[in-house]
Structure 1
Amino acid sequence: MGIGRFVYTPILPAMIEALDLSKAEAGLIASANFVGYLAGALVAAAPRLPGSRRAWFLGALLLGAATTAAMGLVGSLWGFLLLRLIGGTASAFVLVLGSDLILDRLAAVGRGSLSALHFAGVGLGIAASAALVTALEAAGADWRGLWVAVGGAAAAVVPVVVWLVPAEAVAPARPVSVDAPVARRPSGLGRLALCHGLFGFGYVATATFLVAVVRASPEARALEPVVWLIVGLAALPSTAAWGWAGTRIGPRWAYAAACLLEALGVAAGGLWTTSAGALLTAALLGGTFMGITALGFAAARALAPDDQRRAFALTTAGFGVGQIAGPVMDGLLLDRTGGFAAPSLLAAAALLLAASLITRGEPRASMEG
């Protein structure tokens, strides 16, 4: 998922140069992925989804790898939009059903603390694909070769997942009777989905255009080969760190703190276009965005422990709506202003609002224990 979902960012500068894409077109391609992500989250919430969670999970991983590789085989805007739409749908299934399946199993054997490893995988995929893109570009590969190579790398990992996640035996999928009463949506889930939407809007500007902005900056361009790698490396320990913070001060207060730090990084990316600013942005973005995702899932699980797949899906859907709006608006602002300051400040404001809303009515957690 870390490869298929996020490798667009380091490949985008090469695509812009080779295909003469405008920033608005680049943002539209990113948004197509997020439209698929929203659709996938809503479908994954279906209580009577046929088949096993594992089959959907593994199928989505394969589909994500295939659509990633196929990006190098097309050359039209419509082709890119369709492939990223399908890939986004697959990535939502991976996150929602994979998390539902794996967190269930960890809870069943009393190893819930290992959930950080599950979410850290996205950072690993980002770092690995960033290193692969950098090496291939240094060897002279064009944008087509980059897509095919990273898609092949994603496919090569799927057999490992098949081995690590064997057929369901510990926690079978919970059937839902058609005669069962409709559960009332837990109080607070709508606000959590709204906050996750603001988070999606706030992080996506930097997550989409960071490498392109670094390439365009004479002061920071030397960091282009490593800036996305730094994002991935910072993401690796972030879920464990923010999970620890969540146990100390509560998941919502930790969520707010992470949003504040991410807002600082996002603003720095637009206002401080130097090497130091790029490094700060990469470190704060990578160090928070998967932590916020994991904390959002923890809060959703606490709100709806008996229907966590639906809670995960609604939270992911809110995230998807924010992501859809973000890249299109950011691309238009980039084309109109010629700089990253306006999109960054707008994104930072959304993150600050999320930090404010998530803690509304939440008692301050004790630091004891």
Structure 2
Amino acid sequence: MTSAKSTNPWLILLGLALGVSISNAFGRFAYGLILPSMKSSLGWSLTQSGWLNTANSIGYIVGSILTLLLIRHVSPSRLFAGGTVATAFCLLATGFDESLVFQTVCRTLVGLFGALSFVSGGVLAASLFQSSARKNALAIALYFGGGGGFGIALCGASLPPMLDVFGPQSWDWAWIGLGITALVICPFSIWASAMLSETEHNAELPSIPPVRRMLGELSGYGLFGLGYIVYVTFISVWMKEQHSSVLLTTATWMILGFSIMVSPFVWRGVLARFAPGTPLALILSGVAFGSALPILVPNGVGLILSALVFGLSVFMPPTAVTSFVRQNVNQPDWGATVSFFTVVFAISQALGPIGAGIIGDITGEIGDSLVVASVVLLVGALFAAMQKPLRREAM
């Protein structure tokens, strides 16, 4: 097998990042774009709409736990490749049956396999550029933000016009198109993971993460999961309620995607410099502000600014956490520790969509849920700000 040393590591990183396009952009964010058409065509309530992303998050919980268990015995490269391919097939299947039960199964499996891909890919990205802290921080940030931003921009450019031209009943073809696109990407991502097949992973029982000493970072990351998913799930529904044009919807999501792609360069200095919870605290403040902007400035300018601010921040919390783990935990325990953080994140993320849907059904305004989510994110920023660096043994 070809060694990563003989291959351009940035090319390997590109392949890994495209896996995030599948696991997160297609698997999680695209639902927010397709949801208005599904809700209209299938007659769903806000609670039912939120439930499907909660189902996705439940799958993510299971996938995170599986990663935590499997990464002791299976290399991160195999977990990444298997999770990426399985996610692509589940996305494709989502377009073949409109029943809520079938949709629940598909969204759950997309979350499960997406977690296997996303978490293990983060471990692989963190293994690049070990001799340079700045390059390593940039690689981690580009993994989370680059591929995700590209995928979201692609969805934003294609899905709203397609659904507008062919009508809301064409939502099934949106999922089929995403599945086919994901399968086209898969070979490159599999190749990239194969180049890092010898990345260290702990075959024995990993050290138990020092939970009590990481409570600030853990709490901040958990509240991030609870808050950000509300915007991702319901912003397009809110825009439809405000009678936003297809052009504005497309522009908002494309700006969101491009902002995510740029975000690693905005935050790389902060991520490389600070070992405590400072990066996560600053990033969560940006996510909170971006979430509230559509309500604070309820017009096209507010939406564009919201997409810009939210996009510059939303993919960076996983980067901040992975960077925190890299700087504070021994390398053989990276996979288990990142998986532990992801389980906490996934549990809180599962509560966000259905909770927001219930609030929206009660008040009759989904915008109220966006405000609540913003407050939750600010509380998360306060917790993260209290996180101190861990004393670590020689790495």
Q: State whether structure 2 residue 86 is matched by structure 1 residue 58.
A: no
Which of 325, 330, 344 is the equivalent residue of 2:351? 325
Matches within 5 A, 1:240-259: 240-248=265-273, 252-259=277-284
User: What is the CA–CA distance in structure 1 between the aligned matches of 2:196 and 2:289, rounded to whole Å?
Assistant: 42
Which moved further from structure 2: 119-128 or 238-247?
A: 238-247
C-alpha distance 327-183 of structure 1, shift in aligned 2 (>3 A): closer
Task: Report the Cα offset of residue 270 of structure 1.
Answer: 3.2
Q: State whether structure 2 residue 49 is matched by structure 1 residue 26.
A: yes
Which of 260, 264, 277 is the equivalent residue of 2:289? 264
Q: Quote the residue 1:86 is aligned against.
A: 109
Q: Quote the residue 2:219 is aligned against.
A: 194
User: What is the CA–CA distance in structure 2 between the aligned matches of 1:79 and 1:152, rounded to whole Å?
Assistant: 19
The 8 Å contact of residues 84 and 117 in structure 2, kept in 1 or not, is answered as: yes
Task: Report the Cα offset of residue 147 of structure 1.
Answer: 0.6
User: What is the CA–CA distance in structure 1 between the aligned matches of 2:132 and 2:369, rounded to whole Å?
Assistant: 45
Q: State whether structure 2 residue 154 is matched by structure 1 residue 123.
A: no
Task: Report the Cα offset of residue 188 of structure 1.
Answer: 2.7
Q: Quote the residue 1:366 is aligned against.
A: none
C-alpha distance 88-108 of structure 1, shift in aligned 2 (>3 A): farther
Q: Partner amino acid for 1:129? A: C
Deviations 1:26-46 (A, max 9, x none): 000010001111111111112
User: What is the CA–CA distance in structure 2 between the aligned matches of 1:211 and 1:284, rounded to whole Å?
Assistant: 17
Q: Partner amino acid for 2:376? A: A
Secondary structure of 2:69's match? coil
Q: Quote the residue 2:379 is aligned against.
A: 353
Task: Report the Cα offset of residue 190 of structure 1.
Answer: 3.5
Which moved further from structure 2: 265-274 or 80-89?
A: 265-274
Deviations 1:279-324 (A, max 9, x none): 1221122110111221121112323234111111111111112211
Q: Quote the residue 2:172 is aligned against.
A: 144
User: What is the CA–CA distance in structure 2 between the aligned matches of 1:337 and 1:275, rounded to whole Å?
Assistant: 24
User: What is the CA–CA distance in structure 1 between the aligned matches of 2:196 and 2:271, rounded to whole Å?
Assistant: 29
C-alpha distance 250-269 of structure 1, shift in aligned 2 (>3 A): farther
User: What is the CA–CA distance in structure 2 between the aligned matches of 1:246 and 1:103, rounded to whole Å?
Assistant: 13
Task: Report the Cα offset of residue 246 of structure 1.
Answer: 2.5
Q: Quote the residue 1:211 is aligned against.
A: 236
Which of 166, 169, 182 is the equivalent residue of 2:194? 166
Structure 1: runs of 5+ lacking an equivalent: 364-369
User: What is the CA–CA distance in structure 2 between the aligned matches of 1:151 and 1:184, rounded to whole Å?
Assistant: 36
Q: Quote the residue 2:3 is aligned against.
A: none
Matches within 5 A, 1:255-334: 255-306=280-331, 307-334=333-360
C-alpha distance 208-251 of structure 1, shift in aligned 2 (>3 A): farther
C-alpha distance 184-297 of structure 1, shift in aligned 2 (>3 A): closer
User: What is the CA–CA distance in structure 1 between the aligned matches of 2:275 and 2:214, rounded to whole Å?
Assistant: 16
Runs of 4+ in 1 over 6 A off after TM superposition: none
Which moved further from structure 2: 28-37 or 135-144?
A: 135-144
Q: Quote the residue 2:160 is aligned against.
A: 134
Which of 230, 247, 250 is the equivalent residue of 1:225? 250
Q: Quote the residue 1:367 is aligned against.
A: none
User: What is the CA–CA distance in structure 2 between the aligned matches of 1:156 and 1:258, rounded to whole Å?
Assistant: 33
Matches within 5 A, 1:358-369: 358-360=384-386, 362=388
Structure 2: runs of 5+ lacking an equivalent: 1-22, 390-395
The 8 Å contact of residues 214 and 387 in structure 2, kept in 1 or not, is answered as: no
Deviations 1:163-217 (A, max 9, x none): 33324455343321x6x8x546265334322211101111111111111111221
C-alpha distance 20-244 of structure 1, shift in aligned 2 (>3 A): same
Secondary structure of 1:46's match? helix
Q: State whether structure 2 residue 362 is matched by structure 1 residue 336.
A: yes
User: What is the CA–CA distance in structure 1 between the aligned matches of 2:258 and 2:354, rounded to whole Å?
Assistant: 27
Task: Report the Cα offset of residue 341 of structure 1.
Answer: 3.2
User: What is the CA–CA distance in structure 1 between the aligned matches of 2:366 and 2:246, rounded to whole Å?
Assistant: 15
C-alpha distance 60-361 of structure 1, shift in aligned 2 (>3 A): closer
User: What is the CA–CA distance in structure 1 between the aligned matches of 2:380 and 2:335, rounded to whole Å?
Assistant: 23
Which moved further from structure 2: 49-58 or 30-39?
A: 49-58
User: What is the CA–CA distance in structure 1 between the aligned matches of 2:188 and 2:387, rounded to whole Å?
Assistant: 44
Task: Report the Cα offset of residue 69 of structure 1.
Answer: 1.3
The 8 Å contact of residues 77 and 197 in structure 2, kept in 1 or not, is answered as: no
Q: How many residues align?
A: 360
Deviations 1:17-68 (A, max 9, x none): 1111111100000100011111111111126654432222111111111111
Q: State whether structure 2 residue 182 is matched by structure 1 residue 154.
A: yes
Which of 40, 63, 73 is the equivalent residue of 1:40? 63
User: What is the CA–CA distance in structure 1 between the aligned matches of 2:234 and 2:36, rounded to whole Å?
Assistant: 9
Task: Report the Cα offset of residue 221 of structure 1.
Answer: 6.1
